[in-house]
Amino acid sequence: MKTIKIGIIGAGRIGKIHADHLLHMPGAEIAAISDLYAGGELRDWAAERGIPLVTNNSTEIMEHPDIDAVFICSSTDTHVPLIKQAAASGKHIFCEKPVSMSVEQTREALAAAEAAGVSLQIGFNRRFDHNFSRVREIVSEGKIGEPHLIKITSRDPNPPHPDYIKVSGGLFMDMAIHDFDIARFLSGSEVVEVYAQGAVLVDPAIGEQGDIDTAVTTLRFASGALGVIDNSRKAVYGYDQRVEVFGSGGSVSADNDYPSTAVVSGPEGVTRDKPLYFFLERYKEAYINETRQFIESLQKGTPVPVSGYDGLQAELIALAAKRSLEQGRPVKLAELSSGISTIS
Protein backbone atom coordinates (compact mmCIF):
# COMPACT_ATOMS: atom_id res chain seq x y z
CA MET A 1 0.00 0.00 0.00
CA LYS A 2 1.02 3.61 -0.47
CA THR A 3 3.21 5.19 2.19
CA ILE A 4 1.38 8.13 3.77
CA LYS A 5 3.65 11.13 4.18
CA ILE A 6 2.87 13.17 7.27
CA GLY A 7 3.40 16.75 8.39
CA ILE A 8 3.08 17.45 12.11
CA ILE A 9 1.98 20.90 13.27
CA GLY A 10 2.82 21.60 16.90
CA ALA A 11 5.87 20.06 18.55
CA GLY A 12 4.73 20.09 22.15
CA ARG A 13 4.25 16.97 24.22
CA ILE A 14 1.44 15.43 22.19
CA GLY A 15 3.02 16.32 18.84
CA LYS A 16 6.24 14.56 19.80
CA ILE A 17 4.32 11.54 21.08
CA HIS A 18 2.55 11.17 17.73
CA ALA A 19 5.87 11.63 15.93
CA ASP A 20 7.57 8.88 17.89
CA HIS A 21 4.69 6.52 17.19
CA LEU A 22 4.58 7.35 13.48
CA LEU A 23 8.32 6.74 13.13
CA HIS A 24 7.79 3.08 14.01
CA MET A 25 4.61 2.61 12.02
CA PRO A 26 4.63 0.74 8.69
CA GLY A 27 3.05 2.76 5.94
CA ALA A 28 3.80 6.16 7.48
CA GLU A 29 6.64 8.60 6.96
CA ILE A 30 7.14 11.96 8.66
CA ALA A 31 8.16 14.52 6.04
CA ALA A 32 8.12 17.63 8.22
CA ILE A 33 7.33 19.08 11.62
CA SER A 34 6.50 22.70 12.44
CA ASP A 35 6.28 24.73 15.60
CA LEU A 36 6.08 28.47 16.15
CA TYR A 37 9.06 28.24 18.49
CA ALA A 38 11.13 25.83 16.43
CA GLY A 39 14.79 26.24 17.37
CA GLY A 40 17.96 24.32 17.87
CA GLU A 41 16.50 21.92 20.41
CA LEU A 42 13.66 20.84 18.12
CA ARG A 43 16.01 20.61 15.13
CA ASP A 44 18.33 18.33 17.09
CA TRP A 45 15.37 16.23 18.21
CA ALA A 46 14.13 15.93 14.63
CA ALA A 47 17.60 15.16 13.25
CA GLU A 48 17.96 12.26 15.68
CA ARG A 49 14.75 10.82 14.21
CA GLY A 50 15.51 11.48 10.58
CA ILE A 51 12.76 14.06 10.10
CA PRO A 52 14.04 16.08 7.12
CA LEU A 53 12.21 19.39 7.51
CA VAL A 54 11.74 21.54 10.63
CA THR A 55 10.03 24.91 10.28
CA ASN A 56 8.28 27.55 12.35
CA ASN A 57 5.82 28.20 9.53
CA SER A 58 2.99 25.67 9.20
CA THR A 59 2.23 26.99 5.71
CA GLU A 60 5.37 25.18 4.51
CA ILE A 61 3.71 21.94 5.53
CA MET A 62 0.40 22.86 3.93
CA GLU A 63 2.14 23.74 0.65
CA HIS A 64 4.52 20.77 0.70
CA PRO A 65 3.69 18.79 -2.47
CA ASP A 66 4.64 15.40 -1.02
CA ILE A 67 2.67 15.58 2.22
CA ASP A 68 -0.58 13.61 2.20
CA ALA A 69 -1.87 14.31 5.71
CA VAL A 70 -1.29 16.62 8.66
CA PHE A 71 -1.43 16.02 12.38
CA ILE A 72 -2.71 19.17 14.09
CA CYS A 73 -1.24 19.13 17.59
CA SER A 74 -1.03 22.87 18.19
CA SER A 75 -3.11 24.96 20.62
CA THR A 76 -6.89 24.70 20.33
CA ASP A 77 -7.32 28.25 19.04
CA THR A 78 -5.34 27.30 15.90
CA HIS A 79 -7.30 24.16 15.04
CA VAL A 80 -10.08 25.64 12.91
CA PRO A 81 -7.89 27.83 10.66
CA LEU A 82 -5.42 24.97 10.22
CA ILE A 83 -8.19 22.50 9.35
CA LYS A 84 -9.54 24.92 6.77
CA GLN A 85 -6.06 25.48 5.34
CA ALA A 86 -5.31 21.77 5.20
CA ALA A 87 -8.65 21.07 3.52
CA ALA A 88 -7.99 23.76 0.93
CA SER A 89 -4.60 22.12 0.29
CA GLY A 90 -6.22 18.71 -0.19
CA LYS A 91 -4.53 17.15 2.81
CA HIS A 92 -6.15 14.65 5.15
CA ILE A 93 -6.35 15.72 8.78
CA PHE A 94 -5.84 14.26 12.23
CA CYS A 95 -6.75 16.90 14.83
CA GLU A 96 -6.41 16.73 18.58
CA LYS A 97 -9.51 17.45 20.65
CA PRO A 98 -11.39 19.69 20.90
CA VAL A 99 -11.75 21.07 17.41
CA SER A 100 -12.58 24.45 18.93
CA MET A 101 -14.34 26.17 21.80
CA SER A 102 -17.13 27.32 19.47
CA VAL A 103 -19.76 25.05 17.98
CA GLU A 104 -20.15 27.38 14.99
CA GLN A 105 -16.41 27.33 14.28
CA THR A 106 -16.29 23.56 14.63
CA ARG A 107 -19.13 23.20 12.15
CA GLU A 108 -17.26 25.45 9.73
CA ALA A 109 -14.14 23.29 10.01
CA LEU A 110 -16.13 20.10 9.44
CA ALA A 111 -17.86 21.65 6.43
CA ALA A 112 -14.52 22.68 4.94
CA ALA A 113 -13.14 19.14 5.24
CA GLU A 114 -16.28 17.62 3.78
CA ALA A 115 -16.37 20.05 0.86
CA ALA A 116 -12.72 19.30 0.05
CA GLY A 117 -13.29 15.55 0.25
CA VAL A 118 -10.52 15.00 2.80
CA SER A 119 -10.65 12.74 5.85
CA LEU A 120 -10.83 14.33 9.31
CA GLN A 121 -10.18 12.28 12.43
CA ILE A 122 -10.48 13.68 15.96
CA GLY A 123 -8.05 12.54 18.66
CA PHE A 124 -10.34 10.70 21.05
CA ASN A 125 -7.72 8.10 21.88
CA ARG A 126 -9.67 6.38 24.65
CA ARG A 127 -11.86 4.62 22.09
CA PHE A 128 -8.75 2.65 21.14
CA ASP A 129 -7.89 1.56 24.69
CA HIS A 130 -7.82 -2.22 25.01
CA ASN A 131 -10.25 -2.15 27.95
CA PHE A 132 -12.81 0.29 26.59
CA SER A 133 -12.80 -1.12 23.08
CA ARG A 134 -13.49 -4.59 24.49
CA VAL A 135 -16.39 -3.22 26.54
CA ARG A 136 -17.78 -1.66 23.36
CA GLU A 137 -17.47 -4.97 21.50
CA ILE A 138 -19.38 -6.81 24.23
CA VAL A 139 -22.13 -4.20 24.28
CA SER A 140 -22.45 -4.10 20.48
CA GLU A 141 -22.62 -7.91 20.34
CA GLY A 142 -25.66 -7.78 22.63
CA LYS A 143 -24.04 -9.86 25.34
CA ILE A 144 -25.46 -7.68 28.13
CA GLY A 145 -28.78 -6.99 26.44
CA GLU A 146 -29.99 -3.42 26.04
CA PRO A 147 -27.81 -0.88 27.91
CA HIS A 148 -29.63 0.75 30.82
CA LEU A 149 -26.86 2.48 32.78
CA ILE A 150 -23.42 3.75 31.75
CA LYS A 151 -21.10 4.66 34.61
CA ILE A 152 -17.76 6.38 34.03
CA THR A 153 -15.18 7.37 36.63
CA SER A 154 -12.44 9.70 35.40
CA ARG A 155 -10.08 11.27 37.94
CA ASP A 156 -6.66 12.80 37.36
CA PRO A 157 -3.72 12.26 39.74
CA ASN A 158 -3.01 15.99 40.03
CA PRO A 159 -4.71 19.21 38.91
CA PRO A 160 -3.26 21.38 36.15
CA HIS A 161 -1.75 24.78 36.91
CA PRO A 162 -4.52 27.39 37.26
CA ASP A 163 -3.03 29.33 34.32
CA TYR A 164 -3.82 26.35 32.10
CA ILE A 165 -7.50 26.66 33.00
CA LYS A 166 -7.55 30.08 31.31
CA VAL A 167 -6.98 28.53 27.88
CA SER A 168 -8.21 24.95 28.30
CA GLY A 169 -11.94 25.60 28.19
CA GLY A 170 -12.38 24.25 31.72
CA LEU A 171 -13.11 20.84 33.16
CA PHE A 172 -15.97 19.96 30.81
CA MET A 173 -14.15 20.88 27.59
CA ASP A 174 -10.63 19.89 28.54
CA MET A 175 -11.06 16.84 30.75
CA ALA A 176 -14.60 15.45 30.70
CA ILE A 177 -14.91 15.77 26.92
CA HIS A 178 -13.12 12.40 26.69
CA ASP A 179 -15.75 10.90 28.98
CA PHE A 180 -18.58 12.41 26.97
CA ASP A 181 -17.16 10.77 23.86
CA ILE A 182 -16.69 7.43 25.62
CA ALA A 183 -20.28 7.59 26.89
CA ARG A 184 -21.52 7.80 23.28
CA PHE A 185 -19.05 5.13 22.19
CA LEU A 186 -19.99 2.60 24.87
CA SER A 187 -23.74 3.17 24.76
CA GLY A 188 -24.08 3.22 20.99
CA SER A 189 -26.62 6.01 21.43
CA GLU A 190 -26.67 9.80 21.23
CA VAL A 191 -26.91 11.99 24.32
CA VAL A 192 -30.08 14.08 24.32
CA GLU A 193 -30.02 15.71 27.78
CA VAL A 194 -27.35 16.70 30.30
CA TYR A 195 -27.47 17.72 33.95
CA ALA A 196 -24.25 18.71 35.70
CA GLN A 197 -23.24 19.69 39.20
CA GLY A 198 -19.79 20.88 40.17
CA ALA A 199 -17.66 22.19 43.00
CA VAL A 200 -14.21 23.52 43.83
CA LEU A 201 -12.83 21.03 46.34
CA VAL A 202 -9.24 20.52 45.17
CA ASP A 203 -7.65 23.90 44.41
CA PRO A 204 -9.24 27.29 45.19
CA ALA A 205 -7.11 28.85 42.45
CA ILE A 206 -9.08 26.86 39.88
CA GLY A 207 -12.27 28.40 41.26
CA GLU A 208 -10.69 31.84 40.95
CA GLN A 209 -10.39 31.16 37.22
CA GLY A 210 -14.14 30.53 37.07
CA ASP A 211 -13.90 26.77 36.77
CA ILE A 212 -14.57 23.69 38.90
CA ASP A 213 -12.35 20.74 39.79
CA THR A 214 -14.99 18.20 40.83
CA ALA A 215 -18.14 17.26 38.91
CA VAL A 216 -20.95 14.76 38.52
CA THR A 217 -22.72 14.78 35.16
CA THR A 218 -25.83 12.76 34.35
CA LEU A 219 -26.76 11.93 30.78
CA ARG A 220 -29.97 10.83 29.12
CA PHE A 221 -29.52 8.94 25.85
CA ALA A 222 -31.85 8.72 22.88
CA SER A 223 -32.19 4.99 23.59
CA GLY A 224 -33.64 5.77 27.02
CA ALA A 225 -30.48 4.70 28.85
CA LEU A 226 -28.96 6.85 31.59
CA GLY A 227 -25.34 7.78 32.23
CA VAL A 228 -23.35 9.03 35.21
CA ILE A 229 -19.85 10.51 34.96
CA ASP A 230 -17.81 11.58 37.97
CA ASN A 231 -14.71 13.71 37.53
CA SER A 232 -12.04 14.97 39.88
CA ARG A 233 -8.84 16.84 39.16
CA LYS A 234 -7.03 15.02 41.97
CA ALA A 235 -7.10 11.39 43.04
CA VAL A 236 -4.30 10.89 45.57
CA TYR A 237 -3.91 7.22 44.58
CA GLY A 238 -3.33 7.90 40.87
CA TYR A 239 -5.09 8.05 37.53
CA ASP A 240 -8.54 6.51 37.98
CA GLN A 241 -10.20 5.35 34.74
CA ARG A 242 -13.09 2.91 35.11
CA VAL A 243 -16.28 2.17 33.21
CA GLU A 244 -19.34 -0.04 33.56
CA VAL A 245 -22.25 -0.69 31.24
CA PHE A 246 -25.25 -2.32 32.92
CA GLY A 247 -27.92 -3.79 30.70
CA SER A 248 -31.06 -5.88 30.58
CA GLY A 249 -29.03 -9.07 30.25
CA GLY A 250 -26.03 -8.39 32.46
CA SER A 251 -23.16 -5.93 32.84
CA VAL A 252 -19.60 -5.39 31.65
CA SER A 253 -16.97 -3.30 33.41
CA ALA A 254 -13.33 -2.32 32.97
CA ASP A 255 -10.94 -1.55 35.81
CA ASN A 256 -7.78 0.55 35.90
CA ASP A 257 -4.50 -0.59 34.42
CA TYR A 258 -1.66 -1.23 36.87
CA PRO A 259 2.11 -1.60 36.56
CA SER A 260 1.63 -5.20 37.67
CA THR A 261 -1.14 -7.53 38.80
CA ALA A 262 0.78 -8.57 41.91
CA VAL A 263 -1.25 -8.42 45.11
CA VAL A 264 0.50 -8.62 48.47
CA SER A 265 -1.52 -10.14 51.34
CA GLY A 266 -0.29 -9.99 54.91
CA PRO A 267 -1.34 -9.44 58.51
CA GLU A 268 -1.48 -5.67 57.99
CA GLY A 269 -3.73 -5.86 54.94
CA VAL A 270 -3.85 -6.48 51.21
CA THR A 271 -1.97 -4.11 48.89
CA ARG A 272 -1.20 -3.68 45.20
CA ASP A 273 0.40 -1.12 42.89
CA LYS A 274 -1.30 2.21 42.28
CA PRO A 275 -2.87 2.67 38.84
CA LEU A 276 -0.58 3.76 36.02
CA TYR A 277 0.31 7.35 36.80
CA PHE A 278 -1.32 9.48 34.08
CA PHE A 279 -2.65 9.49 30.53
CA LEU A 280 0.68 9.06 28.77
CA GLU A 281 1.28 5.81 30.63
CA ARG A 282 -2.32 4.62 30.80
CA TYR A 283 -3.18 5.27 27.17
CA LYS A 284 0.15 4.65 25.43
CA GLU A 285 -1.18 1.78 23.33
CA ALA A 286 -4.40 3.67 22.64
CA TYR A 287 -2.40 6.53 21.08
CA ILE A 288 -0.57 4.04 18.89
CA ASN A 289 -3.80 2.29 17.87
CA GLU A 290 -5.62 5.49 16.92
CA THR A 291 -2.69 6.60 14.77
CA ARG A 292 -2.41 3.22 13.08
CA GLN A 293 -6.10 3.15 12.23
CA PHE A 294 -5.93 6.68 10.80
CA ILE A 295 -3.05 5.70 8.52
CA GLU A 296 -4.80 2.48 7.47
CA SER A 297 -8.02 4.33 6.67
CA LEU A 298 -6.10 6.65 4.32
CA GLN A 299 -4.35 3.73 2.65
CA LYS A 300 -7.57 1.79 2.14
CA GLY A 301 -9.81 4.76 1.40
CA THR A 302 -12.18 3.85 4.22
CA PRO A 303 -13.86 6.21 6.73
CA VAL A 304 -11.78 7.26 9.71
CA PRO A 305 -12.80 5.63 13.02
CA VAL A 306 -13.51 8.90 14.87
CA SER A 307 -15.12 11.53 12.67
CA GLY A 308 -15.51 15.26 12.90
CA TYR A 309 -19.15 14.61 13.80
CA ASP A 310 -17.95 12.70 16.88
CA GLY A 311 -15.86 15.72 17.84
CA LEU A 312 -18.82 18.05 17.42
CA GLN A 313 -21.13 15.88 19.53
CA ALA A 314 -18.64 15.77 22.41
CA GLU A 315 -18.33 19.55 22.27
CA LEU A 316 -22.12 19.92 22.35
CA ILE A 317 -22.32 17.74 25.45
CA ALA A 318 -19.56 19.81 27.10
CA LEU A 319 -21.43 23.00 26.28
CA ALA A 320 -24.67 21.55 27.65
CA ALA A 321 -22.88 20.53 30.86
CA LYS A 322 -21.47 24.02 31.30
CA ARG A 323 -24.85 25.61 30.70
CA SER A 324 -26.49 23.14 33.09
CA LEU A 325 -23.98 24.00 35.82
CA GLU A 326 -24.50 27.72 35.32
CA GLN A 327 -28.30 27.55 35.21
CA GLY A 328 -28.88 24.69 37.66
CA ARG A 329 -31.15 22.69 35.36
CA PRO A 330 -31.08 19.85 32.83
CA VAL A 331 -30.17 21.03 29.32
CA LYS A 332 -31.33 19.34 26.14
CA LEU A 333 -28.78 19.26 23.34
CA ALA A 334 -31.54 20.43 20.99
CA GLU A 335 -31.42 23.79 22.81
CA LEU A 336 -27.91 24.42 21.55
CA SER A 337 -29.06 25.11 18.02
CA SER A 338 -29.75 28.62 19.31
CA GLY A 339 -28.25 30.94 21.87
CA ILE A 340 -24.70 30.91 23.19
CA SER A 341 -22.61 28.12 21.76
CA THR A 342 -19.12 28.99 22.84
CA ILE A 343 -17.16 27.53 25.75
CA SER A 344 -15.64 30.47 27.60
Could you read off the pLDDT of 138-168 as tens digits, one per residue? 999 999 999 999 999 999 999 999 889 988 9
pLDDT, position 166: 87
More reliable by pLDDT, 341 or 6: 6
Percentage of the chain modeled with pLDDT above 90 = 93
pLDDT at position 340 over 80: no
In the 3-class helix/strand/coil scheme, how is the chain assigned residue by residue?
A: CCCEEEEEECCCHHHHHHHHHHHCCCCEEEEEEECCCCCHHHHHHHHHCCCCEEECCHHHHHCCCCCCEEEECCCHHHHHHHHHHHHHCCCEEEECCCCCCEHHHHHHHHHHHHHHCCCEEECCHHHHCHHHHHHHHHHHCCCCCCEEEEEEEEECCCCCCHHHHHHHCHHHHHHCHHHHHHHHHHHCCCEEEEEEEEECCCCHHHHHCCCCCEEEEEEEECCCCEEEEEEECCCCCCCEEEEEEEECCEEEEECCCCCCCCEEEECCEEEECCCCCCHHHHCHHHHHHHHHHHHHHHHHCCCCCCCHHHHHHHHHHHHHHHHHHHHCCCEEHHHHHCCCCECC
Could you read off the pLDDT of 269-295 as tens digits, one per residue? 999 999 988 888 889 999 999 999 999
pLDDT at position 344 over 50: no
pTM over 0.85, yes/no: yes
Could you read off the pLDDT of 170-227 as tens digits, one per residue? 999 999 999 999 999 999 999 999 999 999 999 999 999 999 999 999 999 999 999 9
